[in-house]
Every structure is written in structure tokens, then in C-alpha cells.
Amino acid sequence: MDEQNKEIQRLQALKEIAELLNEATDLQTMLEKVLHTLLKEMKLQTGWVFFIDKNGEHRMLVDEKLPPALTLEEKKPMCEGSCWCINRFVDGRLHKATNIIECKRIEDAIEYEWGDTEHVTHHATIPLRAGEEQFGLLNVAAPHKTHFIEEELALLEAIAYQIGTTIQRIRLVEKERKYVVVAERNRLARDLHDSVKQLLFSIMLTARGTLDMTQDEELQHMLAYIGELSQEALNEMTLLIWQLRPEGLEKGLAEAIRNYAKLLSIDVCIQIEGVLSLTSELEEVVWRISQEALHNCKKHAKCEQVFIQLKRKDAFLSIQIEDNGIGFVKEKIRDSALGLKNMKERIELMNGTFCIHTELGKGTKLEMVVPTGKGEG
Ligand SMILES: Nc1ncnc2c1ncn2[C@@H]1O[C@H](COP(=O)(O)OP(=O)(O)O)[C@@H](O)[C@H]1O
Ligand SMILES: [Mg+2]
């Protein structure tokens, strides 16, 4: 009877978690909910999930009811240093749910008296993976619990496997979404190029052609004006299309920036130090920022020369964009201006820093530093 009860409980836990996983669309929320349900169903107290990247760097994505000793200083004990379970995961020696006899983090907490461990001394650790792909670890513990029996480990493993598959699914959907956005942009760029741009070109040619057919001066002025306007619209359109689909980005960032500067008739000097090989996300950020900066140089700086330096050092990329133009007063920028704000936002989203140095008559220099390493690959 007891055995039967246990089995029912096990199936109940699996069912509830399977339902949660099935509905999940957001990684963080999914992990929070699953961890909560798992602890409740298995009558455990605390748990946490580490994501571990290819360099062995770990990041705690979610945690529930960690004892005070492990949450001190914004969960510092969980974020720093290495431990047995992470090392084993990185070495490729952790294939299944395992009892961790000595948790280094808890041992340290006791040794250095970081606070109450609430009698949590041991934990089980279970790799999160799907097929060949490894994501990280699920760790769970309870007060006075020094050993997880085979059945508990088997259940944890079954759940962890489902979580792994869901992580993989969510990631694929995210990738797919990004791909759809790029495909849509490309389509729009192509359409604009083929239809609107060609039409504008025809208007411009027609206006110029008709100009020679009349002696009426007023009409000549009007036609010349139409010609100028359509030329302007054509230039704007070319830039727009470029923004949608950067030409030459596949040949490298420097090439794309050079081409764009040429389009704006700006003399640009690009200096690259270190091997760039950036993630496509960071490459896009650098590209968009360079684009806006070059635009500002053209529109505001009234300068002849722009100097761009991209320097990769260790896990950081530093970006400097300097012009010898008229400079500006930062306090006087109108609130509605978005260019510089967007740049700052883009950089900060990548955990980087953004700095403007400018002085009237002395030009402007944008300085940015961004980490190149991405959390999980
Ligand atoms: N390189 C630059 N040289 C001189 N002034 C600049 C430069 N970049 C930006 N500015 C000034 O900062 C303001 C805000 O720029 P930005 O946020 O890009 O908005 P926008 O270009 O739409 O005006 C500009 O209007 C301009 O006065
Ligand atoms: Mg601008």
C-alpha cells in the first residue's frame, strides 16, 4: 500500500510538472514555477538552478528558499567561486542525478560563519540537458537530509530531463523569432528597393527630361524642384534600406561601416585591434551604433573626419568613435532626441558602459566598453 502511495505521488509530481513545462514560453518563469512545484511535491526545502556556459562560468538563474547563510550580500556565496558540482559538470563527469556529500558553498558558509544554514548540509545535483546539449545544474536540498535514495534521484532525473527538453524548445523558439524578424526586414528592404526606389528614380528622370521640353521659366523651376526632391527622397530611401539590411555586414563590420560612411560622404578611418569575432548580437549593436554616430557626424558635427577604433582585449570590446567637429553641450540636447539615448541603451543592455566626451569647437568622442562573452552559448 505504502509503495502504491509513493508511486501515485511520483506520478502526480511528474504530471504537474509536465503540464507546467508544456505551457512554458519564458525560461525564467518556467524554471521558477517548476522548481517551486518540484520542491513542494518532493517535500524538499530549497533548490537552485545554475546555468553553466562553455567556459565553465556559472550563473544562478533561479533559487527558492535558500538558507540565510547562502543569500548574504545579494547571494554572493552562490555567485562566486567554484564547487564540486560545477567542476564535475564542466569536466563532463556528471551524467546523472548524484548525491553531493559535501557542498563546498555550505561548508564555507559554516566555516566562515556567514549565517544560518537551516540545517542544510548536503544536496543532490542533477544535470540539465537535452540530447547532446548541456545547460546546467539543478540542485535541491532539505534540512537534515544527508542522502537521497535511488528512487528520489530517479524521479529528479526524470524531471530534469523534461526541464532540459523544455529549455531547448524555448531556445529554439527564441532563435526562430529572431530569424523571422531578420527575414521580415530583408523582405521590406527588398520591396522598398524594387518598388519605391525605382519609382522615385523614374520621377527624378521624368522631371529632368521634361525640364528641357519647356521654355516656361516658372515651370522649369517647379520641375527642377521636383527633381531635387525626388533625388533627396531617393537618398533617404537608400539610407533606410541600408538600415534595414546592412550591405556587406557579412563581409565584416569594418567593411560595412566603411561603405556606410561612403554613402554619407564621410571620410572615416577605422582601426581594429585584436581578433574581433563577435557574436552576431554584439556585431549588430556595434553596427547600429556606428551607423547612428556617423549620421550624427554628418548631420551635426560638420566635420571632415571620423576616427573609429574597435579594440578587443580579453573578454571586452572597446569602441571609440571620435570626430573633429563642432561638439555640443550635453545639457542642451532636446528631450525628444533618441539617437544617443538608443546607443546608451543598446550598450547597457549588453552590460557595457557608455560615455560621451564633447566640447564646443573641439569635437566629440564616444567611448564604450562591452563584455564580449555571452552567458550561455
Ligand atoms: N557628433 C556630434 N557632433 C555635434 N553634435 C552632436 C553630435 N552627436 C550628437 N550631437 C548633438 O546631440 C543631439 C542629440 O543627438 P541624437 O540623440 O543623435 O538625436 P538627433 O540626431 O535626432 O538630433 C543632436 O541634436 C546634436 O545637437
Ligand atoms: Mg542622431
Tens of pLDDT, residues 24-55: 989 999 999 999 999 999 999 999 999 998 88
CA of 178 to the centre of ligand 2 (A): 26
CB contact set of 188 (below 8 Å; sequence gap of 6+): 244
Separation in Å, CA 49 to CA 64, 118, 377: 9, 19, 17
Query: In terms of pLDDT, which residue wins out, 113 or 310?
Result: 310
Separation in Å, CA 94 to CA 85, 124, 137, 167: 8, 12, 10, 19
pLDDT band at 376 (very low <50, low <70, confident <90, very high): very low
The residue-averaged pLDDT of 256-273 equals: 90
pLDDT band at 375 (very low <50, low <70, confident <90, very high): very low
* Closest residue CA from atom 23 of ligand 1: 337
Ligand 1 atom having least distance to the Cα of 297: 1
Write down the pLDDT at residue 128: 95
Predicted confidence (pLDDT) at residue 303 exceeds the cutoff of 60? yes
- Full-prediction pTM beyond 0.95? no
Write down the pLDDT at residue 101: 66
Write down the pLDDT at residue 250: 66
Predicted confidence (pLDDT) at residue 300 exceeds the cutoff of 70? yes
Using one digit for the tens of pLDDT, what is the confidence trace for 326-359? Answer: 999 999 999 888 889 989 999 998 999 999 999 9
CB contact set of 134 (below 8 Å; sequence gap of 6+): 52, 89, 127, 128
Predicted confidence (pLDDT) at residue 373 exceeds the cutoff of 80? no
From the number of C-beta atoms within 10 Å of its C-beta (0-12, 13-18, 19+), residue 194 rates as exposed
Ligand closest in space to the Cα of 337? 1
> What is d(CA 45, CA 48) in angstroms, rounded to the nearest whole number?
11
- Residue whose grid cell is 543598446: 346
For the chain, the C-alpha Rg in angstroms (whole number) is 29
Predicted confidence (pLDDT) at residue 245 exceeds the cutoff of 80? no
> What is d(CA 56, CA 80) in angstroms, rounded to the nearest whole number?
12
CB contact set of 110 (below 8 Å; sequence gap of 6+): 69, 117
Spell out which residues line ligand 1, taking CB within 6 angstroms: 296-297, 299-301, 323, 325-328, 333, 337-340, 364
Ligand 1 atom having least distance to the Cα of 326: 4
Beta bridge partners of 123: 100
Walk me through the domains of the chain, giving residue ranges and CATH numbers: 2-175 (3.30.450.40), 250-377 (3.30.565.10)
